[in-house]
Chain A
Amino acid sequence: MKHTLRLAFLFLFFSGFAQEAQLSPLTVDASLQENADSVLRKEILTLDITDPRYLIYKNYRVVSVYNKAGNGDVEAYASYDDNRQIKSIKATVYNVLGQEIETFKERDFKDVSAVSGGSLYEDSRVLYLDYTPISYPYTIIFESEIKSKTTAFLPGWIPMGDYESSTQFSQYEILFNPENKLTVKESNFEGYNIVRKDEPGHIVWTAENLKAVKKEYLSPAFIDHMPYLKCAINNFQLEGVSGYADNWLDFGKWMNTNLLQECNDLPPETISEIRSLVSDKPDDEARARAVYQYVQDKVRYISIQVGIGGWKPMNASEVDRLGYGDCKALTNYTKNLLAAVDIPSYYTVLYAGDSKKSIDEDVVAIQGNHAILGVDLNDDITWLECTSQENPFGYLGDFTDNREVLMITDEGGILKHTTKYGLQDNVESLNAQIELVTEGVKGSFSQKSQGIFYRNGIGLSRLDNKDLKEHYLNKWSQVNALRIDDINLDTKRDSVLCQEDLTFEIPGYITEINGDLLLKPLIFTEGSNKIPPRYSKRRTSFIVERDLNYNQNLVYTIPEGYALNDVPRPIELTTDFGKYSLDFSIDDTGKILCTRQLFLTAGEFEAEKYNDYRDFYKKIARYDNLKVLIKKKT
C-alpha cells in the first residue's frame, strides 16, 4: 500500500474538517493498516438484560475497508424472527475523504430468508445491506438495535473481529440486574490493550489498537487464541421459555423439563415393534446395536427450524410417522426407542465440526450446534451419531470426536468427553503386490482404513462403480496412464474397518536405461507427503488436529535375469511432529520388500517450529520420490 502518497494527500485536504478526517480511512495509524483488509474504527456493543425476559442489543460500528477482501468485515446485517425484533437499522457510507456518499434506511436493506445450507426450512430472516463499493478505501457506519426474547445465550465479544482485520477501538457494555448473577469468561486477554470497568449492574470493557493477524496454514481457530469474552446469566429466557440455572446440573434439569421431556411420546405400536425386534438379542449392547440399525434404516436427516423448534426436538411420534428429522429430533427418537427396551441413554449437545471445539465449562448457557446420543452401556458411554445412515455403532469420526460435550441426564447436565482417536486407532495400512512387466508395473492393492480414516470409506461407499474408478484416478492423478480394475470396497461396520481392494496397471511406469530398469517404488503416497506452504516469517502457532498412522508394505516381483544390487539404506526420521521410516530388503525369492511408515503427532506447535515442520515434509517428499535401479544381470 502506498501510504506515503496517501498521507501527504490527506494533510493537504484535511485541516479543519475534523469529522470528515475522523471518518477517512486514511487517518488510521499505519501500523493498524498492516496486514489488514479492514479496520474496525469504532465499535460499541451494548447488551441490556436488566429485564431477563429480553435482550436489548445495540450495535454501533464504524469500519474502514481497504480492499475487496475487507467487504465481509462490514457485517451490516441483522437477523430476525418471531421472537427477535429489529428495532432500528441504518448505515451510512463515506468516501476516502470521509465525506458522506450514501445513506441507507431500514427499507433500503434487503429482506431475505436466512435458511442455512443443509436446512429445508427455517423461520429466521435477515436484513442485510447490499452495497457495491464504488472505490476503495471507504468507511461505513452501521447501527442496529435488536430486542430478543432469548437471553439463554448472549452475544459475546471478539474485539479483533477476524483475521486480516485490525481494531482501533471496541467497547462491550453489559447492563444487568445484580440480583441475576452474571458469569463472565475472559479468554486470551493477556498482552492486549483491554480495560475493564466494573460498577454494580454495569460492566464496560474497552479494547484499543489491536493489530491485524494474517491467517496461515494450520492456524488455530481465531477465537481460540484471540481475545474472546463470553457471558451468561442465571435467570434467562429462551424464545419466551424462562429458566434458571447456576450450574450445569441445574441447566441440564431445566433443559430436560422444558425442552426434552414432552417429546417422549413414542407410539405404543412402535414400542412393541422395537421390543419384539430386540427380544432375541443376548445383551444390552446387541439390543442397542439393533435399535441403532432400526433408526438408520428408518429415518433420514431433514432440518426444519421454527421458533422454539430451533432448540427443542420434534416429538418422537412425529419422527416415527414422517421418517425424518434433524439432529435433535433423531437423537431424541433414538433415545426413546432405547428407553423402550430399557437401555438408558442421554441427549447430548456439542459443537460439531472437524476442527475441535468444546462446550465451555465456565459459561452455563445454551451452547453447541449439534446433538448426539450417549448410551449407557457396560458402565461406559457409547456415542451414537443419529443423523447418519452409514456410521457404525459407536463411531463418531472427526465431526464430533475428542471434545467436551454436555450430556442431559434425568439428574441434570453433566460434562463429558467424546471418544479420542489416537495413533493406535487412526491407521491406514496398505499392502501391495507389484510385478514388473515390460516397461511398466501391474499389481494388486489392498488398503485397510481405521479410526478417523474410516470416514473416507463412508464417502466412497456412496459412489457408484464408475465414480469410484474416477475417484482413484483423481487420487493418484500424478500417476500417468494408470489403469484400475476389480475395485472392491468393503466398509465393515461391525469392526469399523474399511477395506479397499483393486488391481492396477501402469504402462510406461518404468524407464529402461541401457537395459537396466529405473523404478520409483512408492507409487501411492498422495496426501501424506504434501509440503506445507512456505512463509518468509511464520507468525501464528499451528495445530495438527489428530495423530495419524500410515504404513505401506510393497512387495515387488522383478523379472528373471534382473537384480537390485544397491539396496537403499534404511531411512529414519524422528521429529516432534512425527516419525518416518523407509526400509528396503530382498527376500529369499529375490522379491524387493519396501516398507514405509509415517506417524504424525497431534499438538499445537509454536510458530518458530514451523520451518522444522516443513523440513520434515520436504524430507518425506524427497524420500518418497526415491528411485532404484534394477540391473540386468551380466
Chain B
Amino acid sequence: MRILLLFLFINISFIYAQDFRYGKVSEEELSQKQHPLDPEADAAILYRDESTRFEYNQDTGFFILTEVFERVKIYNSEGYYRATKQVVLYQGNQGEEEVNSIRGVTYNLRNGDIDETKLKKDGIFKEERSKNYDILKFTMPDIQDGCVIEYKYTFKTPFLNNINEISLQDEIPLNKADVRFAVPEYFGLNKYQKGWLQIVVDEDRRDRSIPYRYRQSSGAFGGGDKTIRTKIDFIENIYKISVADVPAIKEEVYSGNINNYKSGIKFELSYTKYPGEPITPISSTWEDVSKTIYDSQAFGQELQSSRYYDEDADALLEGISSPEEKIFKVFEFVKNKMTWNRYFGMYTDEGVKAAYKKGSGNTADINLILVSMLRYAGIEANPVILSTKENGIPLFPTRNGFNYVIAAAELDGQLMLMDATNKIGEVNLLEEELLNWNGRLIKENGLSTWVGLNPKKHAEQITMLTVDLGETMQATGKVQSRLSGHKALNYRANMGRMDEEEKRKKLEEMYTGCEIYEVKMKNIETPYKPVAVSYDFESLNGVEEIDNKIYFSPLFHFAVAENPFKAEERQYPIDYTYPRKDKYIVSIELPEGYKVEQIPENAGLSLSDEMGTFQYIVSQVGTKIQLSMETSINTPLIAPQYYQDLKKFYDLIISKENEKIILSKI
C-alpha cells in the first residue's frame, strides 16, 4: 500500500511539477501552443528567479550582486521582441554597474527532439549610449514560434542607495517567480509593495562570512609586511517572495501611468550600522527622505546664497510692498530670465549661480532660484518635490520616487504653486505632466508635508454660437469662446506661436465639417487672463434638406462625435487630472418661411455623486432657437466600477448633441 501511494505521488508530481533549473526545459513547455490562462498572450514568462546579495570588495566596499534567470515561452512572432533583452547600466562617480556571465539557450522542438542553440558572443552588444549610460543588449538565436528561451546573467551595482524595483508583473503573463533578497545585518531595510497582488515575504536569517585580508608589519627589524587572511562573520537577513500565475498588465485610455498599478516590490536601505559604529539612518519615512534631499548639496545648499542675483532682485522689487505683487514679479522675472534645457531633476545640474549667469538650466536650477529669490523678497517660500506622471506616483518613501521640483509660496494660508520652467505657466497652473497626486513641501528646518497638486477649480470653456441659416440653407455663424485654467493652457501651448493662417488651419482640423474665417485670439500669449477665441464659420454639411424639410443639429461642428471609452471593461481608475466644464449658448435665427416642426427634448444627466453632469435646454423664442448646454466632469479621478456608467454617460451625451431640429415650410 505504501509503495502504491508513493508511486501515485511520484506519478502526479511528474505530471504537474516543472523543473525550473537552467537547462531543464521540458517537451511539454515546448509543445504548448497557447497560454492556458491567457490564450491571447504572444509570450509568457514561465519562470523568473532573481537572487540578490551583498558582497564586499576591500578597495571599494560593499556592492550588490543580483543573479537573474528567466525562462520565456514565445508563442508567435508578436512575442519575438522578448528574445532581445536590454539592461541599462549607469556609471557615476561611485563606480559603474555591470552585467556579467551572460548565458542563454534557445530551445526548439524539431521532429520530436529538443534542439538547443546557444547564445554566443556575436549576439551580445554593449552600446555606450552617453557619458553616464551604457546599454547591454543581447538577442537570442534561432527564434521560432513556440520556442522557449532561457538566459541568465549577473547584475552588479555599487549604488547601494538605488536598488532597482523588483517587478512581479509584466506585459505578458508571469507563471512563476522566485525572488530572494539577502542583506547583511549592517544594513536596515525597508520593503515596499505595490499593485493588487498579494505578496507574502518570508523572512529567514543565516550566518555568513566574508573573507578579509590585511597587511601587518611583521616586526621591528624590517622583515617586511605580512598579509593576514581572516574572515568577518555576520548574520544575513534573507527575504523570500514567491508568486504564481500573475496576469499580464494592459494599457487603458485615461489611466495615467500604468506602472502605478503594476505589482512589484522594492527594497531600500534605511540605515547602516557597521560594527562598532552608531546607526546612520538613510531614509525610512517621508520625513527622512525629504530631509535627506534637503540636506543635499545640490538642493538645500543652493537656496542659501542670494549674492548672485541680489542686484537684479533689488531693482525688481524696488518700491513694491504688496507680498502678492512681489510673488508675481519674482515668478515672471525668473520665468523670463531662465530657459529650461529640457532636463528633469530635483537636484541642480549647473548649480544655481552658473545657471543664472547662463540663463538656462534644469528644473532644479531654475525653480530653486525661484524659491531663493522669493525668500529674498521676504515671502514664505519653499520647494515642493514631486514625481512627473511619466515617472509614476511616489508610492513609497524613497528619494528616487521624485524627479522634479517646483516652488510654493504661502500667502494668507494659501499655497501658490509655481514652475518657472514653463514660459506660459501661471501661478497654480502647472503642466498636466506635473499633476501627479501629491508633492512634498520641504521647509527650511527640514520639516516636510504633503501638498495636493491637482487643481480644484474647473477648467472651463464657454462658447457662444450665433447661427444664421440664411436663404441658401448654408449655415453661417459666429463663435466666441472663453477658456480658463488648463483649457487655456492647452490652447496657449498649441497655438501660441502660430500665425493667423496656422491658427485657422488648426481650428479647421479640430472642428471638421466647417470652414473658418476671421480667427481672432486674445491673450493667447499672455498668461493669467482667459484666452478669448472668436471666428466666423460656414458649415459644410451641417444643414440638410430632405423631403422639403430642413434638418440640423443645433451644435453644428461642436457636437461631440466620439466616445473616448471603447473597451468593454475597465480595470484602472479614469484619470481626468483636473475638473472640467464645457458650456455652450447657442442662438439660431430661423430662415424666413419656415417653422419648427420638431425640436429635441430637454435633458439632464448626472453620474452618481455628481461626478459628471450634463444639461441640455432648448427652446424657441420668436424667430430664434436657443440652446444652453453644459457638460462637466467634477471628480478628476473616477473609480473603475463607474466605468460602464461613464461610458453610457458619453453615449447619451453624443446622441443628444447630434439630435436634429427639423424645420418645415410654413
A415 at the interface (CB under 8 A from B): no
Known contacts being A133-B339, A324-B139, A625-B544, is A121 close to B127, with CB within 8 Å? yes
B154 at the interface (CB under 8 A from A): no
Interface range for B: 35 or more
B117 at the interface (CB under 8 A from A): yes
Known contacts being A133-B339, A302-B84, A324-B139, is A518 close to B129, with CB within 8 Å? no
Does B546 contact A323, Cβ atoms closer than 8 Å?
no
Which of A107-115, A281-289, A419-427 interfaces with chain B? A107-115
B142 at the interface (CB under 8 A from A): yes
Does A300 contact B40, Cβ atoms closer than 8 Å?
no
Known contacts being A113-B129, A120-B137, A480-B655, is A533 close to B509, with CB within 8 Å? yes
B residues neighboring A (CB under 8 Å) = 40, 42, 77-78, 80, 83-84, 117, 122-123, 125, 127-131, 137, 139, 141-145, 339-342, 358-360, 497, 501, 504-505, 508-509, 512-513, 515, 540-541, 544, 546-547, 551, 561-563, 566-567, 598, 651, 654-655, 658-660, 662
C-alpha spacing A626/B541, complex, angstroms: 9
Does A481 contact B655, Cβ atoms closer than 8 Å?
yes
Does B546 contact A629, Cβ atoms closer than 8 Å?
yes
Does B40 contact A466, Cβ atoms closer than 8 Å?
yes
What residues on A are CB-neighbors of B651 within 8 Å? 480-481
- Within the complex, the shortest CB–CB distance from A302 to chain B, in Å, comes to 6
C-alpha spacing A515/B608, complex, angstroms: 35
Chain B's closest residue to A464 (CB) is B40
- Within the complex, the shortest CB–CB distance from A122 to chain B, in Å, comes to 8
What residues on B are CB-neighbors of A133 within 8 Å? 339
Does A566 contact B339, Cβ atoms closer than 8 Å?
no
What residues on A are CB-neighbors of B659 within 8 Å? 511
A417 at the interface (CB under 8 A from B): no
What residues on A are CB-neighbors of B142 within 8 Å? 321-323
Chain B's closest residue to A478 (CB) is B561
A495 at the interface (CB under 8 A from B): no
Does B541 contact A132, Cβ atoms closer than 8 Å?
no
A462 at the interface (CB under 8 A from B): yes
Q: Pick 25 A–B contacts, CB within 8 A, sort by A.
A: A111-B130, A113-B128, A113-B130, A132-B340, A134-B360, A135-B339, A297-B144, A300-B83, A321-B141, A322-B141, A324-B143, A389-B77, A464-B40, A478-B562, A480-B562, A480-B654, A508-B655, A514-B598, A518-B660, A534-B515, A536-B501, A621-B541, A625-B541, A627-B544, A629-B547
Q: Which of A376-392 contact B (CB under 8 A)?
A: 389-390
C-alpha spacing A406/B543, complex, angstroms: 55
What residues on A are CB-neighbors of B83 within 8 Å? 300
Does B562 contact A477, Cβ atoms closer than 8 Å?
yes
What residues on A are CB-neighbors of B547 within 8 Å? 566, 629
Extra contacts, 16 of them, besides A297-B145, A473-B566 (Cβ < 8 A), are A68-B497, A120-B84, A125-B128, A132-B340, A134-B339, A134-B358, A135-B339, A323-B144, A324-B139, A464-B40, A465-B40, A511-B659, A533-B509, A534-B504, A622-B541, A629-B546
C-alpha spacing A22/B139, complex, angstroms: 54
C-alpha spacing A121/B124, complex, angstroms: 10
What residues on B are CB-neighbors of A389 within 8 Å? 77
Chain A's closest residue to B653 (CB) is A480
Which of A111, A322, A477, A533 is B561 in contact with, Cβ under 8 Å?
A: A477
The digit string for A499-518, where 1 denotes a CB below 8 A from any CB of B, is: 00000000010010110001
A531 at the interface (CB under 8 A from B): yes
Known contacts being A300-B143, A625-B544, is A115 close to B127, with CB within 8 Å? yes
Does B144 contact A628, Cβ atoms closer than 8 Å?
no
- Within the complex, the shortest CB–CB distance from A374 to chain B, in Å, comes to 25
- Within the complex, the shortest CB–CB distance from B601 to chain A, in Å, comes to 13
What residues on A are CB-neighbors of B131 within 8 Å? 110-111
C-alpha spacing A321/B108, complex, angstroms: 13
Known contacts being A121-B125, A466-B40, A481-B655, is A534 close to B508, with CB within 8 Å? yes
What residues on B are CB-neighbors of A566 within 8 Å? 547
C-alpha spacing A102/B360, complex, angstroms: 12
Does B129 contact A304, Cβ atoms closer than 8 Å?
no
C-alpha spacing A120/B515, complex, angstroms: 47
C-alpha spacing A481/B652, complex, angstroms: 9
C-alpha spacing A480/B559, complex, angstroms: 12
What residues on B are CB-neighbors of A113 within 8 Å? 127-130
C-alpha spacing A59/B337, complex, angstroms: 33
